Each structure stands twice: as structure tokens, then as C-alpha cells.
Structure 1
Amino acid sequence: MTVPSLINNKHLLWRAGFGAGINQFEDLNNKDIKALLNDLFREETFLYINYDTPDVEIIDYMNDKSPAEKKKEIQRINREQNLELNLNFLDKMVNSKEQMKEKMAFFWHGHFASRVVNPRFNRQILNVIRKNALGNFRDLLFEVSQAPAMLNFLNNQQNKKDHPNENFAREVMELFTMGRGNYTEKDIREGARAFTGWGFDKEGNFRERKNLHDEGTKNFLGKTGNFTGSDVLNIILEEKTTAKFITTKIYKFFVNENVDENIVNKLSDNFYQSGYDIKKLMTEIFSSSWFYDKKNIGNRIKSPIELMAGMMRTLPMNIQNPENLIVYQKLLGQMLLYPPNVAGWPNGKSWIDSSTLMLRLQIPQIWSGLRPLEYTPRQDDDIDMGMKSRETALNKTFKNPNITIDWARVEKVFKDKKVEDYLIQSSKSLDMNSVKNFSDNSVKMNVINLMSTPEYQLM
């Protein structure tokens, strides 16, 4: 019988982070929840995610090349820099001691979804999200709304007086703050007028271009005035529906997709009263006894990034070709920096179809060198990275990931433990006899086989 504290500790580490790291299993069953929470909420000196690939300074660099060659070279460098950002973000999730901050950043990365080619813009919005991940939602909203990546993605660079573009104003209300049904089409039109002139220069600095701003009176959410974009964001934040919308989305992501209205109402009131203090909200969630109710444990399907990061935290590995981790992100349908649209990634059962489930179950064997990768991207894959056929995917893009796992360390950690108690969140349906039938009873094969079960897909 698994001791309750072990179940609760695993639950907390998966929801408030990316699962237990190899060094955490040793005393996981007797660790105090408060001590674990302190570890998870630890904050260190903020380090920006960057890329080392040199920026292209086209004028000095390529005078001898044709326009087509220059364009191709710029595309190549942009692609390399974005892939480096992607892998550096994943590395933070796996290795950072600030697990809650990186998990929260991962949540906001899907909430404030943007998808642009420019790696400088991607780097900037990613770091804005990480820096403010556990800070104040007001600061986060303002900084994201003024980030070139978002203004570019939602066409606000083209939002000018006499020709307002409503895209940005609509998504700010529908997806980022209030949710559908809490504003009218007129509010969108008036909000768009307030955001006229918000843009950026070619260096990626936010600019309020006064000559493009509509100075007229606006009627927005029942208030009247000569509003600017900042006024509109402040008016949105005054609405209690904003706190409710954000809290509900956080509850669905971190607790349960089936919302308990009473709990969410209380959380959202406290969130609003605190002036949108994210850390306070998350502390309240993870410190509450209801968070550890049986119905909230092992009920969420891990997203591809959570699945990969969790395995990388459990298995100490040396990856010779980390760029091939991108291949798995593509094949499983979640590539960092490339959300499918402005609504971000869907969650839950949408992660699982026949092709992705098979690959998910086989990754432990592939990464352990026990079987080759033989997969093509999902049919709906719109991340056009030259992986449209298996031949291209395997011969061109994919090389052996060359992963070396330190099995001796894994053996040592799990030597006197029931491995399933530590790796599986909800083992009700787990048939350990069939797991062991596929195994030679070594810790290594036990771990690989447990990670290859449908139960390991849940957290």
C-alpha cells in the first residue's frame, strides 16, 4: 500500500512542476508538503533564456549574395535561433530548481500564445512570461500586450485611426482576460480604437505612435472617455469576470478539467482582492486539502512537453543530439514557440490519437536504444519543417538521438523501492503482473516498461 504522503508529494511535483527529479526520489515518501512547496516556489536570480547562434547583420555580411540567397540564409538563421530557444526553454523545465516558475511559464506560454518567425521577438516574449510567471497578472498582461511578438502576431502594427484592426482587441478580451460572453462587439470596436498606434520599431521596442492614435471619445465596458490602450487594459482588470476567467483556466490546468464552482469562486475572489497576485493564488491552490482529493490525482493526460520533461527529470541522460528532441515535439503535436493558433494548445484527450499514443508508449524504449523511431507527423501537422514523409523525417531531419541513460544511478535510487509507487500517479488499473511478464525483473526494464504503460501518461 502506497503511503498517502508519497501519493500527495508525487501529485504536487507533477502539477506544480514537471515531476520528481532523480535526486528527489530518495526521501519522497517522507518529505513534508510545506518543505516541498518551499522548494517548488524557490526563486533565484532571474536568468534570461537566450540563443548563441549569431544574429545576421545582413548589410555587412552578404553583399556578394543574390536576394534569394540572402533570404534563404536569413530563414536558416531564424530557424536555428528559434530551435535553440525552444531547447533552452525545455532545458529550464527539466533542470531548473525553480520548478513552479517554469511550470507557470509553460502555462502562460500556452495562454498568451503567439507564433512569429522573428527569434528576437520570441526570445523577448518568452522572457517576459518567465520573469512575470509568478508575479502580478497586471504586469504580465501589460508587458505581453506591448511585446512585439504579440502585436505582430495579432496585427496591431496595422491598427491605425480611420482604419482600426480589431484582431488584437478581440483576442485580449476573448482569450487573455475576460472570456466570451463578457463583452460586446461594440466593446471590441471601441477597444480597437483605443489600441490604435500601439506598435514596435524594427529593433523590437514598443512604440505608441501618437500620430496613428484615434483621439476620439470611446465607450468601453460601460465607461466613456478618451481611452488609450493602457486605459482599456486597466478597465478590463477592474472587471471581476477577468479574475474569474483566469482562475478558472488555471484551475482546469493545474487541478481538474471538471470545475468545482464553489472553489473557483473563492479562489477568484481572493485573486481579485490580492490585486492579481499569481504566487498567492498558486500557493492557495497547492496548500488546500481539496487539491489532494482522490478525484484530482492522476486525472490529467500529460501534454507532450510534460511527458518528455518528466522522463528527462526521472532518467539522468546525456543527449548527444538535443536538436532531435524537436522531432518528438513535432511528432507528438506540441512544439514550444509554435502553438497551433492564438488559443494555444488544447488539453486533455486532444493529445491522444492512435499515432501519438503508440509513439508515447514507445518513447521509453526508443530513448533507451531498444527500438528505432518509425513515425511520421500527425496528419494535421502544420509545423512545416520539411517532415512531410517518413523518408524525409528519418533520413534528413532525424539522426539517432544518441541518448545515454545513467542506469547505474537509476538502479541505485530504486533498488529497494516498488518502482510503480514512484512512477505511476494512479495505479488502480495497472496490472503489474503483465508489466513484469515483459521484464527481466531488473530495475532498468521495470522503469522502461512502467513508462510504456497508458497509466504513465496520466498525472
Structure 2
Amino acid sequence: MQHLAWRAGFGESLPVIEDWTHRRKKQIVNRIMMGPEKDPQEALKVIDRSDLPDVGRRKDMTEEEKKMVRKMNVQGIKDLNVSWMYEMVTTTHPLREKMALFWHGHFACRTQNVLFTQQLLQVIRDNALGNFGELLTAVSKSPAMLQFLNNQQNYKAHPNENFAREVMELFTTGRGHYTENDVKEAARAFTGWSYDEEGNFVLREKRHDEGEKTVLGKRGHFTGDDVLKILLEQKQTARYITGKIYRYFVCENPDEQRINALAEKFYQSSYDIKALMQQMFTADWFYDRQLIGTRIKSPVELIVGLRRSIPVAFEREEVVISFQQVLGQTLFYPPNVAGWPGGRNWIDSSSLMYRMQLPRMVLYEKEFNIQPKEITPEMGMGSYKTTMQVNEAAKRQYARKINGRIDWAAYLRAYENVPREKLAETIAGALLLSNNKSMDSALLENYADNSSRENYIKTVTIAVMSTPEYQLC
């Protein structure tokens, strides 16, 4: 159940796990899939169109006004980052946010426009557990993605292949399952796909190539919607998406037989994401011992998991962006169009040391004095200045004290009935996955403050969270 809590979310408290162990697996999985009965998903909205200058006069703006808009966009994306992180920490439907985090990496996108970023995030969160075809279409028609992949420059006189190529290579079939001619023909179908200044999808008919195209062996006067339909008709798309989900939620070393079986049902369900996840989480093999505690937590999973275990409110919530930058995963700033590679790529000599220091810095109120990794201007980002502004903000933040308000009360209550001699073992068992629970109790005692039961629990908890084993889920 603890394995399920981490793979389908960001971990759960000891009382929740103990409650789950007394219930049937199918009942717990159903609860995780559905979320709470009353779950009105609120949009993460940090800025409104009316907050920015009138689009009709943008071309006439002064340099000072343009500077102000750039500043609002940079700050707005930071605010959106903080808001989404807080939603992951406090959500009553963690699987939805975990799936949204997965799709955020799958549909990797960077844009300087906070309204476009905000809109794309909501599209992903709304469809995270819905239908993949609907998600694919909504993302493909979002102004953020059309801008990022240069499709506003794709018109019949001069087709731009970038959007069509990434839709095939990264979003659907994967590399090697289409030809260069398929890309060229699909690009013609996507000509005219654009957006207006309000961020609404627009088909500019004068730019659209209405001629016949041949895509993946089919011929017709295809539009962009037709191409997406053709790609969804390919069983390879179901297999590619299923394989990527398997590597993210189960194991980096793919089991081809399991993936093929899951992909077949995914395809037959017309790409029902929720049904795929339910099948995966109820499978007996999902709980095989060799799959437990084998994934390296992503930076976001690590930060969110820590805060869900021990609630902490920061005086300046923007400090979580500095945490992300140091660890190498800043929301809304993927390294390239392929997203974050994950796995062992999360770990290097400096990031591992910082990961192990993070619980102590947050929970012992130490100085946050580790230099964040810089974000670099990448394809589609456009503005070197904007990227540098993000980096400078992180540098200003990293030297400050974290100043968190830590709420230990609920955490301490979870252990009130545990005998003193079993506390270290129980804490390690609750925080580490079953394959990694063999912590040396004598070693933990060295880090423990025995002045009171409360201090003992706190210090042992921080010691366990500061181990290499805690990096795994």
C-alpha cells in the first residue's frame, strides 16, 4: 500500500497506510482513481487577461510598458509554479496531480506568456485521467504548444515541419514509426493552425494547404485533426504511450509482455487513461518485490512528498522554485522538447548531497546556501533576457533562510501509541519502502535527541529522510 501511495501520488501518512492495509486492494485503488466524492477541481489561475495591457494596442506600447509585461509574465509563471506545487501538497486527489506531472513532461513546452502557460496546464489537469485522444487534440491546439513548436510559421507556401515532427516523435508513435515524407505531408495538414491574441485556437484558411496528402499509408485532403486521428489509429501510439507510462509509474526497465498487454487494452478502450491506470494498479505484478523502492524520486516528488509527510508553510513560498532549480526540475522550464529524462539522470554528486541535506535545511531551519543550477535559453524560449531574470531571482532567493512554519502535530500523533523501543523501527518503516527498511536502529540512535519523546521522533524522522534510501520510491 505504501508502494501504491508513492506511485499513484506523493506518499501517504502512517495512519492512512495502516487504514489501507485493512481494506481490499481493489477498494483502495478505486478510491485513488476516483478521488474524493466532492472534488470540485479548481483552475490554477494566477493572472487574468484583463491584468495585461489591451492586446489591440500592444504594438503601440512604450518600452517601459513592454518591460512591465515581460516582468508580469516572468512573475506570473513563478506564481503558477508555486500554486501548482502547493496544490500537489494539499490535494485530496494526488493521482490526478501525479498524472498531470507526467503529462507535463510528456507534452514538454516552454513559453514566455503566462496566460498560455496557465491555459496549457489547465488543459493537462482537466484531461490527465480522461481520454488520451482528447488530451492530445487539446494540447496540440493550445497556443503555448503551437507557439513553442513554431506552427504559427507553418503555411502552405512555406511548410514548417517542426510541429508535425514532434507530434509524431514525442507525442504519439515515437521515433522510427514514420518516414520523413510522413512528416512533410503531416506538416501540410497542420498548415494554418494558429491562435489569436486572446489565446483562442484559429484555423487560418488562407494559409491551409487543402491539397491531397499521404500520411502513414492513407491518402486524402487531410486537415490537422485528420492527422491526429490517423496517429491514434496506429496501435504503435497506444504502445508508445503505455510504455512511457509504465517506465514512469512502474519500472524503468520495460517488460515488453506486460506493456503489450496493457497497450492492447488501452487501444481497445479508445485510449481511456483512467482504465489503463486502474488495470496497472490492480495487477498482482505491480506489487512484485523487485519493483518496490526502485524508482528515484523526481525533484518535485521529493519536495512534495516531504511536505505531505510533515506540513511546512514557507514565509516565501517561492523558495520551492530554488529547490527545483538546485535539483534540476523546474516546472514550466523543461530542458528541451523531450522533457526531463528522469531516472538516474536526477542524480549527480552535487544533487545527491543536496537531496540528503534538504530535510535538514527545511526542518532544522538551516541556511539555504546552495547555488541553483541555471536554466538555459532553449528552443522556443525566445528571450535570453527572460531566462536570465528567472536565474537571477533564484540566486537572490538561495542565500536566504528558509523560514518555514512546521506543523509537527499530526505527524507526532501518528506515533503516540508506538512503544518507545519501537519508534525508530516504525518511523523507518513508514518513510522507506519495504525493500529498504533495514535501517540500523543503533545508527539512528546516534542522530536522536533523547531529551523528550517529541524531540526523539522529530530527529529520527529527519535522519531517515536524510538517507540515500529516502531518495527511492
Which TM-score applies when normalising by structure 1?
0.92
Residue number in structure 2 paired with 1:405: 406
Q: Cα gap change, 1:258/1:448 in structure 2, threshold over 3 Å: closer, same or farther?
A: same
Distance in 1, Cα, partners of 2:347 & 2:201: 39
The code of the aligned residue for 1:431 comes to D
Q: What whole-Å deviation, never above 9, does each CA across 1:7-65 have from its counterpart, x for those lacking one? A: xx1100000111114762563543442332233122423321111578543369x99x9
The code of the aligned residue for 2:466 comes to S
Q: Is the 8 A contact 2:266 2:272 kept in 1?
A: yes
Work out whether 1:262 is the aligned partner of 2:257. yes
Q: Is the 8 A contact 1:165 1:192 kept in 2?
A: yes
Residue number in structure 2 paired with 1:419: 427
The code of the aligned residue for 1:458 comes to L
Q: What whole-Å deviation, never above 9, does each CA across 1:70-113 have from its counterpart, x for those lacking one? A: 22211111112111111111122111111111111110010011
Higher alpha-carbon deviation: 79-88 or 140-149: 79-88
Residue number in structure 2 paired with 1:3: none
Residue number in structure 1 paired with 2:453: none
Q: Please, which of 2, 8, 17 is the counterpart of residue 10 of structure 1?
A: 2
Helix, strand or coil at the partner of 2:9? coil
Q: Please, which of 67, 85, 88 is the counterpart of residue 80 of structure 2?
A: 85
Work out whether 1:330 is the aligned partner of 2:354. no
1:34-433 to structure 2, matched below 5 A, reads 34-43=26-35, 44-52=39-47, 55-58=50-53, 67-378=62-373, 384-386=387-389, 395=396, 398-415=399-416, 416=418, 418-425=426-433, 426-427=435-436, 430-433=439-442
Residue number in structure 2 paired with 1:24: 16
Deviation at 1:333, TM superposition (A): 0.9
The code of the aligned residue for 2:334 comes to P
The code of the aligned residue for 2:409 comes to A
Which TM-score applies when normalising by structure 2?
0.89
Distance in 1, Cα, partners of 2:125 & 2:389: 30
Distance in 1, Cα, partners of 2:197 & 2:277: 37
Distance in 2, Cα, partners of 1:386 & 1:57: 19
Q: Cα gap change, 1:387/1:429 in structure 2, threshold over 3 Å: closer, same or farther?
A: farther
Work out whether 1:33 is the aligned partner of 2:25. yes
The share of aligned pairs that are identical, in percent, is 47
Helix, strand or coil at the partner of 1:318? strand
The code of the aligned residue for 2:26 comes to K
Distance in 2, Cα, partners of 1:192 & 1:54: 31
Distance in 1, Cα, partners of 2:131 & 2:83: 24
Alignment size in residue pairs: 447
Distance in 1, Cα, partners of 2:219 & 2:187: 14
Structure 1 gap segments, 5+ residues each: 1-8
Q: Please, which of 443, 448, 454 is the counterpart of residue 434 of structure 1?
A: 443
Higher alpha-carbon deviation: 312-321 or 114-123: 312-321
The code of the aligned residue for 2:279 comes to E
The code of the aligned residue for 1:12 comes to L
CA RMSD of aligned residues (A): 2.3
Residue number in structure 2 paired with 1:452: 466
Deviation at 1:216, TM superposition (A): 1.1
Helix, strand or coil at the partner of 1:58? coil
Q: Is the 8 A contact 2:429 2:437 kept in 1?
A: no
Q: What whole-Å deviation, never above 9, does each CA across 1:109-156 have from its counterpart, x for those lacking one? A: 100111001011111110111111111011001101100000000000
Distance in 2, Cα, partners of 1:395 & 1:272: 49
Q: Cα gap change, 1:379/1:326 in structure 2, threshold over 3 Å: closer, same or farther?
A: closer
Structure 2 gap segments, 5+ residues each: 378-385, 451-455
Q: Cα gap change, 1:275/1:53 in structure 2, threshold over 3 Å: closer, same or farther?
A: closer
